Amino acid sequence: MFNLQPQDTLTEKEIECGMKLSIREGLATETMTVLTSGAFLTALSLLLGATNLQIGFIAALPAFSNISQLITIWLVKRFNNRRGISVLFSVMGRIPILVIGIIALFFPRDISIEFIILFLFFNFFFASMAGLTWNAWMKDLIPEKVMGTYFSRRSGYLQTLNVCLSLITALAIDYVKDNFAAFELDAYGFMFVAGGIIGLAGVLMLSRIPEPKSFLGNENVFRLFILPLKDNNFLRLLIFNSFWVFSLSIATPFFTVFLMNHMKYSISYIITLTIISQLCSIATIRSWGVFADRYSNKTILSICAPIYIICIGAWSFVGIYTEFASNFALLVGIYAFMGAATAGINLSLTNIGLKLAPRKEAIAYLSVKNSVTAVFSFMGPLIGGFLADYFANRHLNIRIEWTSPSLDKVFRILSLHQWNFLFIIGAVLALLSLEFLVRVKEVGEVEKNLVVKIMRSSIRNNLKDYFVVGNMLNWHNHLMAVIRKKKNEPIQDGVSKPT
C-alpha cells in the first residue's frame, strides 16, 4: 500500500522521479483516451443505434462533468491531500470504462446506448474531479524554471502516441468491419477492456508520484465562488467564453456523424483527418504563444476565432462535389485550418483566464469559469442533436430557372439540408459571440490599430503575413458593421463607436 499523504519537503531525486512517473502515467492515460473516446466512441454509439440527440448528449457529458470541480475544491480545502483525491477518483472514473468493455465482449445482448451513456457519465464525472487536483498538484511539483519545457516535452510524447495509436486502431477497426463484420462490437469491447486496464495501470503510477504539501487559506469556499461574479471584467470574459463554447458545441460534435452517415467515410479516413488537425495544432502552437506574448491574447483570439468560424461554415460545402478526391481535399483544408485555429484559441482562452484571475483566488476563478462554461457546453450538443433531427426532413433550395427556345438552365443559388442548417447556425452564433470579446479588457493589451500597423509593416518581406494575419484582424468588425447597417455611426479602426 502506497503512502498517499503529502510531504513537507521533496528532494531533487524525488522530484525527478515524480516527473518521469508523470510522463509514464500520461502515456497510459492517453492510451485509454484514444481507445475509448473521440471518433471511436462515436462509431460505437452509431453501431448501437444512437440518435442524434443521444450523440449530442454523449458529446455534452465531458463539459457537464466539470461542475464536479466545485466539489473537488471543497474536498481539497477539507483534506488538503490532492494526490489521495486524484488517485481515488481516477480509479472510480476508469472502472466504468472497463465495465463497458466487459459487457460488450461477454454480454453483447445486454449492452445498449443507454447503458453506454450511464457509465460514461460516471467516467467523465470522476475524471473531472481527478483532473482539477492533478493540475494543482503538478503545478507545485514541477519546478517553475523547467515547467514550460517539461510540459511541452510531455505533450509531445502524448501527441505522438495519439497519432500513431489512433491510425493503427482505425485501420484495425476497418479491417474487422470489412472482413469480420459480426465481430465489430467485440473489437470495440476489446478496446474498452484494454483501455480500462491500461488506465488503471496509469493510476498505479500516479499513486507513486510524490506530492509537496500545500498551504491553503481559511477563506470560506462558497464565498470564493461569488468573487469572480463580482469582477466585471472577468464576468465579461465569462459571458464571451460561454456564448462561444455554446455556439461551437452545436455543430462540432456532429462532424464525425456527418462523415460516417452522410459521406459514408470509414473510420480510417476520419482518423487521418483528425491527425492532420492535430499536426497543424502542434506546428502552430509555439507561434501563437510568441504572438500572444508580443501583442495580447485578445489579438490572437481575434485572428483564430474568425478562421475557425469560416471552417465551420465551410462544412456546408462538403459533399457538393461528386468526386471523392475533391471532397477529401476540401476536408483536409478545413481540418488543417481548424487545428491551427484551435491551438491559438485554447492557448489564448487559458492565458487570458489566468491573467484576469487574482493569484490568491485563482483556483476559485478558474473553477467558476469551467463550471459556468460547462453548462453552456452541455446545452450546445443537446440543442444541436435536436436541430439535426428537426431538419432531417427539411430542405431549403433557392434557385433561378431560365427557360428559352434554345436553352433551359437552372442556377442553384442555395441548397441547405439537415447538416448544412446545423453548421450554418453554429457559425452564425459563433460570429455573434465575438461581439462580447470586444468588451473584455486584458492586462497588457496592445491596441488593435497598433498591432495591425506592426503586422502590416512586414508586407515588404512577407506578403503572406499581410493577407493571412493583417486582414483577418479586421474582417469580423467590418462584417458586423455591415450587418448592423448603422450608416450614421462613425467607424474607427474597424470598430463601431457610438455617437
The answer on 280 and 187 residing in a single domain is no
Do 342 and 464 lie in one domain? The reply is no
All three cell numbers of 269, joined, read 479516413
- Around Cβ 453, how many Cβ atoms within 10 Å? 11
DSSP-H helix ranges across 357-390: 362-390
Residue 70 CA to residue 93 CA, distance in Å, equals 17
Eight-class DSSP state of 7: B
pLDDT computed for residue 496 by the predictor: 39
- Confirm if 125 and 71 have CB atoms less than 8 A apart: no
Same domain, 317 and 464: no
Q: Are residues 271 and 176 in the same domain?
A: no
Q: Which residues of 353-375 are buried (b: 16+ CB within 10 A; e: fewer)?
A: beebbeeebebbbbbbbbbbbbb
Q: Give the residue from 417, 446, 475 where a domain finishes.
A: 446
pLDDT at 215: 66
Averages of pLDDT over runs of 10 residues in the chain (499 residues) are 78 92 95 95 94 92 81 82 93 96 93 95 92 83 78 82 93 95 95 97 95 72 74 88 92 92 92 92 81 78 91 87 85 95 85 71 73 87 92 82 83 74 92 88 58 46 43 52 54 39
187 and 210 share a domain?
Answer: yes
pLDDT of residue 468: 44
Cell 440527440: give the residue: 53
How many Å apart are CA 213 and CA 195, to the nearest integer? 32
Q: Are residues 97 and 159 in the same domain?
A: yes
Residue 445: strand, helix, or coil: coil
Q: Are residues 438 and 457 in the same domain?
A: no
* 281-287: long-range pairs with CB below 8 Å, 24+: 281/339, 281/340, 281/342, 281/343, 282/156, 282/159, 282/343, 283/340, 284/339, 284/340, 284/343, 284/344, 285/343, 285/344, 285/347
Other beta carbons less than 10 A from residue 45's beta carbon? 23
In Å, what is the CA distance from 246 to each residue of 56, 124, 126, 161, 380?
12, 19, 23, 30, 5
Contacts of 215 (CB under 8 A, 6+ apart): none
Rg of the Cα atoms in the chain: 24
Domain identity same for 121 and 168: yes
Structure confidence at residue 494 (pLDDT) = 39
C-alpha cell at 484: 448592423
| Dist CA 200 CA 87 (whole Å) | 10
Q: Which CATH number characterizes residue 132's domain?
A: 1.20.1250.20
- What pLDDT was estimated at residue 464? 43
How many C-beta atoms surround the C-beta of residue 432 within 10 A? 14
User: Where a domain ends, among 190, 216, 242?
Assistant: 216
- Structural contact between residues 151 and 139, judged by C-beta atoms closer than 8 angstroms: no
Q: Are residues 181 and 133 in the same domain?
A: yes
| Domain, as residue range, for 109 | 1-216
Kind plus residue range of the DSSP H or E element containing 46: helix 38-47
Q: Which residues pair with 7 in a beta bridge?
A: 212
Cell of 343: 491551438
C-alpha cell read off for 207: 499513486
Domain count, the chain: 3
Determine the Cα–Cα distance for residues 407 and 405; give it in Å rounded to an integer.
Answer: 6
Same domain, residue pair 3 and 148: yes
Final residue before a domain boundary, out of 181, 216, 251: 216
Amino acid at 331: L
Pair 51, 195 in one domain? yes
Do 414 and 474 lie in a common domain? no
